[in-house]
Amino acid sequence: MVAAMPDQATMTRAQDRAERSGAVDMARVEVIAPNLKKRLSGVTSTIVQLVPVQARDIGIAVVGPGLPDNLPKMRWWQLPSLLRRPASGQPRIWHARRNVEMVAGLVLRYVFRAPLRLVFTSAAQRDHRPFTKWLIRRMDGVIATSRLSGGFLEVPHKVVLHGVDLEKFHPPRTADDAFEAAGLPGRYAIGCFGRVRHSKGTDLFVDAMIALLPDHPEWTAVITGRVTAEHKGFADELQQRIDAAGLSERILLFGEVPDVAVWYRRVRLYVAPSRNEGFGLTPLEAMASGTAVVASDAGSYAEIVTPGKTGAVVAAGDGDALREAIRPYLADPALAEARGAEGLEDVRKRFRLETEAAGIREVYERVWAGAAE
């Protein structure tokens, strides 16, 4: 049964209320991007970067906690609007990126009879659990964020690589972007950013720095990222290792910083040593900043970094290989600079947010075409 289209008076009243509350006009929203998780994650970061680009040519709104106010937002009181089609007359798309969001979309569609079509983006680099497979089979469109993640899907899908915000992440432009502005020792910096925990390989980076920095006094290592209560013991142990090596002034754990983007511009080399990863945006953010990258082959890193051109890739969890991949760059800062320049050119060609948005729009159009058949 197709829900009745709202009359003009109802649409006008809804628009007026939306404008007064700062909410979107649901009559114009064709896509919902839910974020049903409070904690900041890679999925949240993707939504924050991508939705403003998508909003340039499509009616889209986010819903859920922890999202910045600059995004077009559907308020919870607007949920009944999902029971009606937008002004275009075509069903809205509910674009899920987590299991809980697929479940919510199915409930809205089959319990509340909302005229929705469901799209799911999968970043998982492993075989899905049976329940997740069951959910995915009920989607109208499926996107994989890499060829590797697509290899674990058992349904037709389109690979759409993530893009990066080239306005936020860019090469140095001002004096504050220079390493000297940080007031740290040395002439060059090497960075490792993201949550501090075993799965992210922070310990592998620290061990590599303890081994290498004594031979390279011009370099300082910077680690940024959240330390949750669950992983505080892990972070404390890392600090103890650093102190025992006498490198507490040259291997620095900053925790969360107000703006990590400036640190990508200040470091000459970025290291992504994850043991496991979903997609992993940090190498892209580094490359967009003109910074060379040494990464593990976790997640999509091996599809992002081109060995011998934009950096190096080693086996995930191999601390010895990571150390040796970093060594040439510390010995030759000019090599890191050259690889960073190549990375910037590559990311501008292959990983623009506009390219990602266009790929996703193709999936939406196929879903809408299928709904019209």
Give the model confidence (pLDDT) of 167-189 as tens digits: 999 999 999 999 999 999 999 99
More confident residue, 204 or 300: 204
pLDDT tens for 123-148 read 887 889 999 999 999 999 999 998 88
Q: Is the pLDDT of residue 353 over 50?
A: yes
Predicted local confidence at residue 280, as pLDDT: 81
Predicted local confidence at residue 5, as pLDDT: 44
User: What's domain 8-163+353-372's superfamily in CATH?
Assistant: Glycogen Phosphorylase B; (3.40.50.2000)
Range(s) within the chain of domains with CATH label 3.40.50.2000 = 8-163+353-372, 175-350
Predicted local confidence at residue 281, as pLDDT: 87
3-state helix, strand, coil in the chain (%, to 5): 45, 15, 40
Predicted local confidence at residue 259, as pLDDT: 93
Residue carrying the six token digits 């593990």: 296
Q: Give the residue from 97, 104, 81, 101 showing the smallest Cα distance to 17.
A: 81
- In the chain, the N- to C-terminal Cα span, in Å, equals 16
Mean pLDDT of 354-370: 96
Chain centroid offset of residue 313 CA = 19
Measured CA to CA, the distance from residue 370 to residue 373 in angstroms comes to: 5
Predicted local confidence at residue 23, as pLDDT: 86
Measured CA to CA, the distance from residue 201 to residue 295 in angstroms comes to: 10
Q: How far is CA 211 from CA 66, 207, 220, 224, 307, in A?
A: 39, 6, 13, 20, 23
Res. 373 pLDDT band, cuts 50 70 90: low
pLDDT tens for 323-334 read 999 999 999 999
Predicted local confidence at residue 112, as pLDDT: 97
Q: Is the pLDDT of residue 3 over 50?
A: no
Contact 167, 159 (CB under 8 A): no
Mean pLDDT of 154-177: 95
Measured CA to CA, the distance from residue 209 to residue 153 in angstroms comes to: 38
Predicted local confidence at residue 4, as pLDDT: 45
Q: Is the pLDDT of residue 151 over 50?
A: yes
Mean pLDDT of 248-253: 97
Res. 39 pLDDT band, cuts 50 70 90: confident
Residue carrying the six token digits 């003109």: 290
pLDDT tens for 57-79 read 999 999 999 899 999 999 999 99
Measured CA to CA, the distance from residue 162 to residue 144 in angstroms comes to: 10
Q: Is the pLDDT of residue 2 over 50?
A: no
Could you give the 3-state DSSP secondary structure of residue 153?
coil
Q: Is the pLDDT of residue 12 over 60?
A: no
Predicted local confidence at residue 41, as pLDDT: 75
What is the sign, positive or negative, of the torsion defined by CA atoms of 96, 195, 347, 314?
negative
Backbone angles phi, psi at 278, to 5 degrees: -80, -95
Amino acid identity for residue 213 in this structure: L
Q: Is the pLDDT of residue 6 over 80?
A: no
Mean pLDDT of 214-234: 96
More confident residue, 355 or 278: 355
Question: What tokens does 200 get?
Answer: 């992210």
**Which residues are CB-contacts of 219 (< 8 A; sequence separation ≥ 6)?**
186, 187, 188, 189, 190, 212, 213, 250, 330
Predicted local confidence at residue 19, as pLDDT: 52
As a whole-number percent, the residues of the chain with pLDDT over 70 amount to: 93
- Let me know if domain 175-350 sits in CATH 3.50.50.60: no
Measured CA to CA, the distance from residue 90 to residue 211 in angstroms comes to: 60
Mean pLDDT, the chain, rounded, equals: 92
Q: Which residues of 114-124 are buried (b: 16+ CB within 10 A; e: fewer)?
A: bbbbbbbbbbb
pLDDT tens for 269-314 read 999 999 988 778 899 999 999 999 999 998 889 999 999 999 999 9
Predicted local confidence at residue 44, as pLDDT: 87
Enumerate the H helices of 112-183 as residue ranges.
Answer: 130-137, 147-150
Predicted local confidence at residue 13, as pLDDT: 54
Q: Is the pLDDT of residue 209 over 70?
A: yes
